[in-house]
A and B are shown apart, each in its own frame.
Chain A
């Protein structure tokens, strides 16, 4: 199995044909006006309407216009179909269309219609508490493994030379800074975290999402006992890292402004569908979109 980047056409086809079939499977808190923002990233920076403003390769868009006090005033998307249209044709459907900082009008450009390399939603939410997500990345696992494998090779090596020296760059998927075994290990860690959430933190609603190069583990209970603010999440981070020895990215969990990859969106760097998974035995090959496998 080799991995490669999705082409512009594959991205368009995926969001036009395959993604709509998964919309019904989205977690219920992901609606047109639930998360406070949706966000897109582009492979090539896209111009905005104001001439001197820099081109954008990442945009965030609020789901609501707010008044001066930050309260919801007007919804930007009426239905999830509107969100979908924004994902398919961001420049044509930019909710910031009235603003000089909206994406530039497709009609005036040679590359008129940017395709999203990745689709995200905000963890901060209008209708429920800020979503708790733990990020486990295969890159970090590979890097730790490389540092352990070649620790006797001497100090002062860069990440790149260490990954090369350990053979990780050359092992499948070739050219990526991790091996498949690191992705599989990340998935195993994800289910370990889910068990910890369930057994030690009394969580009833959890979810493990394959993120393309690792996993996201969710704790979704909304009762007061699970309303962890930033300080409680820092404690959770420290416990996961130190007491349970799980290589999480601690910044993500405690940062309210974070966005997460939208389930069933495409991780374009590896052509895999981001998706909730049920078992540590999950085979990443099964996450190949039809547009690639077909």
Chain B
């Protein structure tokens, strides 16, 4: 009987995409062939379509919102295509001249691509609806080391089920005879220094089986995926000829250009994982001080290392690079030493006059310069908006440029109470300066944006972290302004930010 093959068997393709470490190189290549076959129409290869999709995938991976959305709604709809696009995007990234002397483990972009791959795969798997696939994955994630008693009998994971007595949610069912400590899920740590052995066990017991909350499966799979994606990438790289690699990197430009823009605008954290340690420390401290729940610690004031450490310990790191900084700061004395090491940083001031040293973390440069907005044109005082203005004289906008701009204007105080007709008139007047201007199109776009709400809330104006702004940003470190800090937005806007609806303009 002919063995099943990822090229024409979807079930096999899913299994190889999810568990590549369990398969031979030849099997993984069959998965890639399946992916490449999507770009053959009537026997003809479609290289342009392939490059376009690689670029689209690689650029999308740089957007946090897209990566997290992919966990719910797949960005790519098929496992073979996903494996091809993710690995070839990574190949393009590794070939970027900026990374010539950089170890892959220090390239943030590769982590982002892997995250998009994993999230995308997770949502594909959940919509695929074959529980047996999750069971196969659980079999790998929860298997125990071989023991003196030989292999355990039967399957490691005998089911995925809901159990009313344990509350909401799904559980992986694992027989006690197959169990190992790997199956014991513990409650979340209360602080970074909580080792875990004393935390509450969330795994439940019934009928001589363990019931492991399925959320643990997700986090274990993410850990496993580090090795898994590496294997896919190694096989892909091994299968590319020198000519194919040259063809790929010559034809791909969008990912490379995006990386170049990050380099030019000083967004080190978007491309490298080991960028300047002093700057990383200061950025995390600023964010920790900003987020501190009590009013004990504040930017621009002197505090003991213990007070600052408490704020860092309580800080909920948002990114991998932030976590690596917070994990590394393990005590007040460690923090004090780091601040002393980076005393030359412009934001750090150490007061040694008193018995105990105190430390002041300054704001970025001075606080953001304010801009008075009487006319819409005043917004162009922001360097990024000035760059956008200049570029739009030469090139048509991408749609989001205009959406973003219109949204920013709508939040300005003089337009908060204006009628839609007034806003449309003023924006048409402004847009008419650009050569590609079309009155009807602008009118439609502005009216569409005005009617757009997100969960009943008016979308926020873009802020400096907006991905679409990166093409115009001069670098947050260099810029004396910040969009949310310099423009006279109303308190209501900041209240909406506080309610947690940040970045809502950033829809993909």
Q: Is the CB of B205 within 8 A of A200?
A: yes
Rounded to whole angstroms, the CA-CA distance of A189 and B210 in the bound complex is 22
Give the residue name and chain of the B residue nearest to A221 (CB).
B208
A238 interface residue (CB < 8 Å to B): yes
Instruction: Say yes or no for B201: interface residue by CB 8 A criterion.
Output: yes
Among residues 162 to 211 in chain B, which have CB atoms less than 8 Å away from a CB atom of chain A? 175-181, 183-184, 198, 200-201, 203, 205-208, 210
B26 at interface by CB-CB < 8 Å: no
Complex Cα spacing A238 to B152, Å: 20
Asked if residues B183 and A202 are in contact (CB atoms below 8 Å), the reply is no
Asked whether A226 is an interface residue with its Cβ less than 8 Å from the other chain, the reply is yes
Does A242 touch B at the CB level, under 8 Å?
A: yes
Min C-beta distance of A170 to chain B, whole Å: 33
Contact with A along B313-355 (1 / 0, CB 8 A): 0000000000000000000000000000000000000000000
How far, in whole Å, are A251 and B157 apart by their CA atoms in the complex?
A: 27
CB distance from A195 to the nearest CB of B (A): 13
Task: Give chain B interface residues in 356-406, CB to chain A under 8 Å.
Answer: none
Does residue A225 face the partner (Cβ distance < 8 Å to B)?
yes
Confirm or deny: B441 has a beta carbon within 8 angstroms of a beta carbon on chain A: no
8 Å CB contact of A243 from B145, B175, B205, B208 = B205
Q: What total of chain B residues lie within 8 Å of the partner, measured CB to CB?
A: 26
Question: From residue 260 to 293 of chain B, which have CB atoms closer than 8 A to chain A?
Answer: none
Q: Does B144 contact A (CB under 8 A)?
A: yes
- Secondary structure of the B contact surface, majority rule: loop
A229 on the interface (CB 8 Å rule)? yes
Interface size on A, residues (CB 8 A): 23
Q: Would you give the shortest CB distance from A190 to chain B, in whole angstroms?
A: 19
User: What is the minimal beta-carbon distance from B481 to any residue of chain A, in angstroms?
Assistant: 53
A231 within 8 Å of B (CB atoms): yes
Q: Is the CB of A225 within 8 A of B208?
A: yes
Instruction: Say if the beta carbon of B149 comes within 8 Å of chain A.
Output: yes
Instruction: Considering the complex, give the chain A residue whose CB is closest to the CB of B154.
Output: A224
A256 interface contact, C-beta 8 A: yes
- B409-422 CB mask vs A (1 if < 8 Å, else 0) is 00000000000000
Q: Are B147 and A230 in contact (CB under 8 A)?
A: yes
Q: Look across to chain B and name the residue whose beta carbon is closest to the beta carbon of A224.
A: B153
- Residues of chain A within 8 A of B207, CB atoms compared: 200, 202
Q: Is the Cβ of A201 less than 8 Å from the Cβ of B201?
A: no
Interface string of A191-219 (1 = CB under 8 A from B): 00000000011110000000000000000
- Determine chain A's interface SS by DSSP, over half rule: helix
Query: Is A77 located at the chain interface by the 8 A CB criterion?
Result: no
State the CA gap A129–B175 with chains docked (Å): 17
How far in angstroms is the closest Cβ of chain A from B391? 60
In the complex, which residues of chain A have a beta carbon less than 8 angstroms from the beta carbon of B205? 200-201, 239, 243
Instruction: Check: B148 CB closer than 8 A to any chain A CB.
Output: yes
Which A residues lie within 8 Å of B184 (CB)? 235, 238-239
Partner of A225, one of B175, B181, B210: B175
The listed residue (A201, A230, A243) touching B176 by CB distance below 8 A is: A201
Point out which of B145, B153, B208 has the most chain A C-beta atoms below 10 A from its C-beta. Answer: B208
User: Given contacts A225-B208, A230-B148, is CB(A235)–CB(B175) below 8 Å?
Assistant: no
Q: Does A232 lie at the interface of the complex (its beta carbon under 8 Å from any beta carbon of B)?
A: yes
Inter-subunit contact A229/B149 (CB<8 Å) = yes
Nearest A residue (CB) for B207: A202
Q: Do A256 and B148 touch (CB < 8 A)? A: yes
B176 touches A231 (CB 8 A): no
- A235 touching B177 by the CB < 8 A rule? no
Instruction: Decide: A224 near B181, CB < 8 A? Known: A201-B205, A229-B148, A229-B152.
Output: no
- Distance in angstroms from B141 CB to nearest chain A CB is 15
Is the beta-carbon distance between B206 and A227 smaller than 8 angstroms? Answer: no
Known A225-B175, A230-B147; judge A238-B201 contact (CB<8 A).
Answer: yes
CB-contact partner of A232 in B178, B201, B206, under 8 A: B178
B147 touches A231 (CB 8 A): yes
Residues of B contacting A235 in the complex (Cβ-Cβ under 8 angstroms): 176, 179-181, 183-184, 210
A264 to B206 alpha-carbon distance, docked (Å): 34
Tell me whether A224 and B177 are in contact (CB under 8 A): yes
User: Which residues of chain B come closer than 8 Å to A232, judged between CB atoms?
Assistant: 176-180
Q: How far is the CB of B181 from chain A (nearest CB, A)?
A: 6
Chain A residues lying within 8 Å of B200, measured Cβ to Cβ, are 242
Tell me if A228 counts as interface (CB < 8 A to partner B). yes
A96 within 8 A of B: no
| B147–A229 touching, CB < 8 Å | yes
Q: How far is B153's CA from A129's CA once the two chains are assembled, in angstroms?
A: 14
CA–CA, A43 to B431, complex, Å?
A: 99
CB distance from A204 to the nearest CB of B (A): 11
Cα-based distance from A175 to B362 in the complex (angstroms): 64
How far is A130 from B148 in the complex, measured between Cα atoms in Å?
11
Say yes or no: is A105 at the interface (Cβ < 8 Å to chain B). Answer: no
CA distance A1 to B45 in the complex (A): 94
B180: nearest residue on chain A (CB-CB)? A231
Chain B proximity of A223: nearest CB distance (Å): 9
* Minimal beta-carbon separation of A266 from chain B (angstroms): 33
Q: Which residues of B contact A224 (CB under 8 A)?
A: 153-154, 177
Q: Name 12 extra pairs, CB < 8 A, besides A225-B176, A231-B180.
A: A130-B149, A200-B206, A200-B208, A203-B208, A225-B208, A229-B177, A235-B180, A235-B184, A235-B210, A238-B184, A239-B184, A243-B201
Contact sample, A vs B, 13 pairs, CB 8 Å cutoff: A129-B149, A200-B206, A201-B205, A202-B207, A224-B154, A226-B177, A229-B177, A230-B147, A231-B145, A231-B179, A232-B179, A234-B181, A256-B148
A: residues with CB less than 8 A from B are: 129-130, 200-203, 224-232, 234-236, 238-239, 242-243, 256
Minimum-distance CB pairs A-B, first 3: A231-B180, A229-B147, A202-B208
Interface residues of B (CB under 8 A from A): 144-145, 147-149, 152-154, 175-181, 183-184, 198, 200-201, 203, 205-208, 210
